[in-house]
Amino acid sequence: MCTPRHNEEIVSETSAPLPIPEATSFLSLLIASDEESVRELVRSEATRAGLRVKAAPGASQALSALERLARAIALDRENRLLREQLGSRPGFGILVGVSPRMQQVYHLIEKVGRSLTPVLILGETGTGKELVARSIHFHGPRKHGPFVPVDCTGLVSTLVESELFGYVKGAFTGASQPKRGLIEAASGGTLFLDEIGELPMEMQAKLLRVLQEREVRPVGATSTIPVDVRVVAATNRDLQKEVDQGRFRQDLFYRLSVVPIRMPPLRERKSDIPLIVNHFLERYAVDGRPSPVFSEDAMRHMVSYDWPGNVRELENAISRALALNSGPLLHVGDLPTNLQSPAPARLPLDDEHITLAELERRAIFRALQKTRGDKLAAARLLGIGKTTLYRKLKEYEDGNSDHEPEAETEISTE
Ligand SMILES: Nc1ncnc2c1ncn2[C@@H]1O[C@H](COP(=O)(O)OP(=O)(O)OP(=O)(O)O)[C@@H](O)[C@H]1O
Ligand SMILES: [Mg+2]
């Protein structure tokens, strides 16, 4: 290789790597050419790459330029590899699964992503409604705008209005500063109204006005603020039934459900189970170790199980199995007990060895299955309070399903 003569400098203005074709042609020319053409090349290529050349480079500068090029090449390779991996993940972006039912969902996401039409995502608990909402946002023209999830279950009823609409200074005792509401915060992006069926009636009317007028009036304000939000809502309730029973406004239902997307339960797309299992095995594997695999028998048990808690229940089963067994092969015994029996979806009241906690867990999931994921209806069916049900589900989510049920919890399966 020839060495440039002058001891002058290159100043970096950007750390952006050179695109690969430029990087390689630059490198090969640098190696093959005479001094003069090297200087010329360094000047022109470095300028194109965002480097300011104050003068032709000296030896050490040329070396550091070469180092940067080597880094650029390595980075480009790494990026290409990542892109390939992402592209080869069996599914659609963050969603894993290739079953025909999921293909229909992906098709709809692509279609609605391009528009600003309101979307209502329906489906049982744990089917991936929130992932779909995020997918819609990231496939649309607003992907650089905010994605604001609002859990309508978690909104304290007295604070719903100020949370959603914001308030002006002095609107109520303690409002010493004005506060932007969640709807305004989503302006330019997507507002994701999760568990929309839980929104109190009076808030439903106010939300309808936002959708119609595209403006919000913060609590205590005399004027309105224009908002530009794309609304995606989700529910595991049968909203049409809620409308029929007078618990959900019909006009709001029509507004929100311009495009409904129905998430299929996992038991209706069993071919996706092995893919999702492997996805979670990789996600939860300990860093630096190859991800373990399930024995064929264990995989068969997982495929034959009905998964009333859907993908979330599957995810929990896998993280539990990985916590119990650090070896390379996971067995049926590493799965939760309800998956180990041959007919796992049934409630075996005649099984003497089942724990009370397990019986409770099955009763809860069975009720959710019966009510097609409607938590309030399931709580009614079980004869327990809504809060108790939410707490139990949270415990299962956190992996505490083996705990004994608390004394106040009463279970009735019918
Ligand atoms: N197709 C999928 N691919 C990969 N992960 C998934 C998929 N579907 C769901 N998950 C994962 O399962 C879990 C539950 O998904 P999500 O929260 O979107 O469900 P949900 O339908 O909103 O549930 P809920 O009604 O209980 O709120 C999450 O950890 C999510 O990442
Ligand atoms: Mg959700």
Tell whether 410 is covered by a domain. Answer: no
Q: In the predicted model, is pLDDT for residue 7 greater than 60? A: no
Q: In the predicted model, is pLDDT for residue 83 greater than 60? A: no
Q: What is the reported pLDDT for 246?
A: 94
b/e map 360-385, b = 16+ CB within 10 Å: bbbbbbbbbbebbbbbbbbbebbebe
Are 203 and 143 within one domain? yes
CB 298 within 8 A of CB 130: no
Report the nearest atom of ligand 1 relative to the CA of 123. Answer: 21
Asked which of 66, 88, 110 is the last residue of a domain, the reply is 88
Are 59 and 130 within one domain? no
Are 369 and 380 within one domain? yes
CA angle 257, 135, 314 (to 5 degrees): 95
Are 315 and 254 within one domain? no
Chain Cα centroid distance, residue 166: 26
Number of domains in the chain: 3
Are 272 and 187 within one domain? no
Tell whether 407 is covered by a domain. Answer: no
Residues within a 6 A CB radius of ligand 1: 95-97, 123, 125-131, 236, 276, 279, 311-312, 315
CA of 59 to the centre of ligand 1 (A): 56
Are 63 and 206 within one domain? no
Based on the number of CB atoms within 10 Å of its own CB, is 43 exposed (0-12), middle (13-18) or buried (19 or more)? middle
Q: Which residues pair with 302 in a beta bridge?
A: none
Asked which of 40, 56, 88 is the last residue of a domain, the reply is 88
Are 280 and 259 within one domain? no
CB atoms within 10 A of CB 261: 21
CB 4 within 8 A of CB 56: yes
Are 288 and 377 within one domain? yes
pLDDT digits (tens, 9 = 90+) for 178-226: 999 999 999 999 999 999 999 988 889 989 999 999 999 999 999 999 9
Ligand 1 site-directed mutation target among 96, 127, 152, 364, most atoms within 8 Å of CB: 127
Token pair of 383, please? Answer: 């004869």
Ligand 1 site-directed mutation target among 89, 131, 393, most atoms within 8 Å of CB: 131
Label residue 373 by pLDDT band (50, 70, 90).
Answer: confident
CA of 30 to the centre of ligand 2 (A): 56
Q: Which ligand has its closest atom nearest to the C-alpha of 94?
A: 1
Are 163 and 80 within one domain? no
Instruction: Please provide the average confidence, as pLDDT, over all residues in the chain.
Output: 78
Range of the domain at 191: 96-264
Report the percent of the chain where pLDDT is more than 70: 69
| Half-sphere exposure in the Cβ direction for 318 (13 Å, CA) | 28
More confidently predicted of 271 and 403: 271
Are 111 and 177 within one domain? yes
Q: How far is CA 13 from CA 7, 48, 219, in A?
A: 20, 11, 48
Q: What is the reported pLDDT for 175?
A: 86
Report the nearest atom of ligand 1 relative to the CA of 133. Answer: 18
Tell whether 3 is covered by a domain. Answer: no
Q: Which ligand has its closest atom nearest to the C-alpha of 263?
A: 1
Ligand 1 site-directed mutation target among 92, 130, 272, 307, most atoms within 8 Å of CB: 130
CATH classification of the domain holding 301: 1.10.8.60
More confidently predicted of 251 and 353: 251
pLDDT digits (tens, 9 = 90+) for 313-325: 999 999 999 998 8
Mean pLDDT of 361-374: 75
Decide: pTM greater than 0.85. Answer: no
Question: Which helix (H) or strand (E) element contains residue 109?
Answer: helix 100-113
Angle of helix 273-284 versus helix 296-304 axis, rounded to 10: 120
